[in-house]
Amino acid sequence: MTIPDQAQITVDPWATRVGLFRRRQDRVIAGVGGGLADRLGVGDVYVRAAFATLATMWGLGIVIYVVLWRLTLDVEDDRPPRPIDSRQRIGLTLAFIGGLWILTGMGLVLDGFATAVVFTLSFGTAALWDRSESPSLARIILPDGGGGRSVVRLIGGMVLVIGGLGLLFSSVSAVSQLGFTLLAVAVTVAGLVLAFGPWMYRMAQDLGQERRERVRQEERAEVAAHLHDSVLQTLALIQRSEDPRKMASLARSQERELRGWLYGRAPVPGEDLLSTALEGAVAKVEDERHVAIDLVKVGDATLDDRGRALVGAATEALINAAQHSGAARISIFLEVDGETADVWVTDQGKGFDQKTVPPDRRGLADSVFGRMSRHGGSAAVESRPGEGTEVHLAMPGVKAIGIQL
Amino acid sequence: MTRLFLVDDHQLFLAGVKAELEGKAEIVGVASDVDEAITEIRRTRPDVVLIDVHMPGGGGLAVIGALTETNPEIKFLALSVSDAAEDVIAMIRAGARGYVTKTISADDLAEAIDRIKAGDAVFSPRLAGFVLDAFAGGLPVPIDVELDQLTAREREVLRLIARGFAYKQVASRLNLSVKTVETHVSAVLRKLQLSNRHELARWASDRKIV
């Protein structure tokens, strides 16, 4: 139990001093009964039954409940919340108030008879519904009985419930006109529901719990398997690697893969995307050339021959930049706007004079310009010594997907 | 020197940034969870808060949300390894004035912090891409396409940033002053932040970001 913060405690030193709190979880109305049960070490159902019984005596139970409510504080606990949701809570409370109201209407409240009915019914159901491990009525009767305890609880509960129901129905003159058979059926059905309801409820609950647990375990296994195959393997490789460039490149490729797994779209079979193809090309160049490439993409298109040509040309431009620019980082930007896909490959490296293209840069002209023009696209290179290089590729007639700029 | 506060739940990263920014910014405090961050930032009143997008207890969004009401003078720079465009855009819409990735170099980070302090926006190429996508309707982000349209110039500036150019290079390419580029970027930021706060909160909680 954690004690709530100081400011609240000053309100009610007595209840706190004797260790009485309201339960926040597993409660029916405000958690007063549950808190009292925790303090006394008895099952909460019995405390609730006692409150219900006392309520029939000039409303004493209600008064005590409200007074204790005012005197106590909520307490945090880390037990899993029992699925009594607010609807059930309101239902239970309304049912009790309704029951009292009916008894009042029949002129039964405030005499010993109503108290007897409520007492037998509430303690009977309490015995049947008792799921706690705390000392129960049955444990007091059978101090060390294992299975016997629940049998006693069951029988005792049923006797009390059926007795209570019989008492209630027999007292109502209107019911006696319906005939004895009907009365007996009603008592039996009510008794059976009360006796086996908890058991069926528990079964359903355990089943749901089991299913949730299984799903969670499967998810955990999947994550573990993935991390083992990728991240742990890479970390092992990094530890064995002595080349810092290799290490950085391993880290980057692992980062990319993990990102794809965490944030990426699941691939749709039969639908290749331009952006996915470009990502693959970027990854390949990064791994082979040990260079960092920043890919930014806006919009997307389905991958056709034109798209493949564009990716091929972009790959050549990236390899060129990695080989000749001397820059540690290359930027690549893909934008699909309407029917045109544009790619810019930019580096902030040493650049070159476009009038005197060195022979080793022939690759750029052949593979980039050639690929683009064969498919109706265009390419332009802009570079100045000392100011980096930018290659702009434009491919018209692509099939854009999604809403466009 | 800029009075800087660091919020990140990774101790290793906090230590790294602290060492890197030595002499470039005055680090007035660090925090590694949402509640601690809110209390300590209120107490130390830094110029700029460098804040992680993903943290237990609501993430950077919760910190910015709590502080923009009470301390509007404090400026936020979001920093993340996250690639989820929606998360990053949500931080910007909540009030962060920029976004950089954790792989940023120390010098670039120091420059970004100073820029944020001066009241400018810091757009990394990736953020520029996210924003262009968001305004094109390519992201599940609630942007009112009627009200919050980018101008042709703003889009041009964002495209150049996405291509990897620094503000200065963007300015010279468009024959503008750096100040004008900054004005355009700030205008984009404002358009992102303009939309209804309630709508954003609902959207964020739907996506379990907060």
- Give yes or no for A5 touching B (CB within 8 A): no
Task: Compare CB distances from A299 to B103, B128, B136 and report the shortest one's residue.
Answer: B136
pLDDT for A172: 59
pLDDT for A134: 40
- Give yes or no for B153 touching A (CB within 8 A): no
The whole-angstrom separation of Cα B130 and Cα A285 is 24
8 Å CB contact of A263 and B82: yes
pLDDT band at B91; cut points 50, 70, 90: confident
pLDDT band at A7; cut points 50, 70, 90: very low
- Give yes or no for B119 touching A (CB within 8 A): no
- Calculate the average pLDDT of chain A: 73
Query: pLDDT tens for residues A228-284?
Result: 777 877 887 787 777 777 788 788 888 877 877 776 655 555 568 888 889 888 988
Query: Is the Cβ–Cβ distance between B120 and B97 less than 8 Å?
Result: yes
Runs of H (alpha helix) within A179-302? 180-227, 233-240, 244-263, 274-289
Query: Is the Cβ–Cβ distance between A119 and A53 less than 8 Å?
Result: yes
Is the pLDDT reported for residue A141 higher than 80?
Answer: no
Closest CA–CA distance from residue B113 to any residue of chain A (Å):
21
Beta partners for residue A404, in sequence order: none
How many helices (H) and strands (E) in chain B? 10, 6
Interface A:B, Cβ pairs < 8 A: 57
Chain A residues 262-301 within an 8 A CB cutoff of chain B: 262-263, 292, 294, 296-300
The pair of structure tokens assigned to A203 is 């079964």
The whole-angstrom separation of Cα B130 and Cα B149 is 15
- Per-position DSSP letters for B88-113, written without gaps between them: HHHHHHHT--EEEETT--HHHHHHHH
Query: Is the Cβ–Cβ distance between A382 and A392 less than 8 Å?
Result: yes
Query: pLDDT tens for residues B118-164?
Result: 888 888 888 899 888 888 766 666 555 555 678 889 999 999 999 98
Closest CA–CA distance from residue B165 to any residue of chain A (Å):
8
Residue of A263, A341, A344 whose CA lies nearest to A299:
A341
**Structural domain span for residue B96:** 3-206
- Determine the CATH number of domain A272-401: 3.30.565.10
Query: Is the Cβ–Cβ distance between B21 and B109 less than 8 Å?
Result: yes
Contacts of A255 in chain B (CB under 8 A): 81
The whole-angstrom separation of Cα A131 and Cα A147 is 14
Is the pLDDT reported for residue A351 higher than 60?
Answer: yes
Element (H, E) at A301: strand A300-301
The whole-angstrom separation of Cα A198 and Cα B127 is 56
Is the pLDDT reported for residue B5 higher than 90?
Answer: yes
User: Nearest-CA residue of chain A relative to B127?
Assistant: A296
pLDDT for B82: 63
Instruction: Compute φ and ψ for A347, nearest 5 degrees.
Output: -130, 155
ipTM over 0.90: no
Is the pLDDT reported for residue B171 higher than 70?
Answer: yes
- Give yes or no for B82 touching A (CB within 8 A): yes
For residue A188, CA distances in Å to A62, A163, A177, A192, A293 come to 31, 11, 18, 6, 78
Residue of A382, A298, A371, A297 whose CA lies nearest to A346:
A382
The whole-angstrom separation of Cα A39 and Cα A134 is 11
pLDDT for A59: 75
Q: Which of A22-31, A270-279, A309-318 has the lowest mean pLDDT?
A: A22-31
Instruction: Compute φ and ψ for A261, nearest 5 degrees.
Output: -70, -40
Closest CA–CA distance from residue B74 to any residue of chain A (Å):
30
pLDDT for A362: 60
Query: Is the Cβ–Cβ distance between B187 and B135 less than 8 Å?
Result: no
pTM of the model as a whole:
0.57
pLDDT band at A124; cut points 50, 70, 90: confident
8 Å CB contact of B164 and A346: yes
Q: For chain B, how many structural domains are there in total? A: 1
Residue range B68-96: average pLDDT? 83
Q: Which of A122-131, A305-314, A316-325, B78-87 has the lowest mean pLDDT?
A: A122-131
Higher pLDDT, B13 or A143: B13
The whole-angstrom separation of Cα A81 and Cα A34 is 13
8 Å CB contact of A402 and B164: no
Query: Is the Cβ–Cβ distance between B100 and B79 less than 8 Å?
Result: yes
The whole-angstrom separation of Cα B120 and Cα B179 is 10
Is the pLDDT reported for residue A366 higher than 90?
Answer: no
The pair of structure tokens assigned to B167 is 């503000």
Say if residue A287 is exposed, middle or buried (CB neighbours under 10 Å; 0-12, 13-18, 19+).
middle
pLDDT for B143: 58
| CATH number, position B131 | 3.40.50.2300
Instruction: Compute φ and ψ for A334, nearest 5 degrees.
Output: -110, 130
Placement of tokens 């006394």 in the chain: A40
Angle between helices A60-71 and A44-55 (to 10 degrees): 130
Residue of B105, B116, B17 whose CA lies nearest to B74:
B116
pLDDT band at B83; cut points 50, 70, 90: low
Beta partners for residue B101, in sequence order: B80
**Domain chopping of chain A, boundaries:** 6-177, 272-401
As a whole number of angstroms, the longest Cα–Cα distance in chain A is: 115
Residue of A313, A384, A330 whose CA lies nearest to B164:
A330
CA atoms within 13 A on the CB side of B115: 27
Chain B residues 16-75 within an 8 A CB cutoff of chain A: none
Is the pLDDT reported for residue A329 higher than 80?
Answer: yes
The edge-to-edge listing of strands for the beta sheet with A329-337 is: A292-298, A329-337, A340-347, A389-395, A378-383
Residue of A271, A323, A254, A248 whose CA lies nearest to A315:
A323
Query: pLDDT tens for residues A33-84?
Result: 888 887 777 777 778 878 877 877 777 888 888 888 888 777 655 555 554 4
Higher pLDDT, B103 or A194: B103
In 3-state terms, what secondary structure has residue B175?
coil
Mutant choice from A325, A333, A340 vs B, greatest count of B C-beta within 10 A:
A333
pLDDT for B209: 53
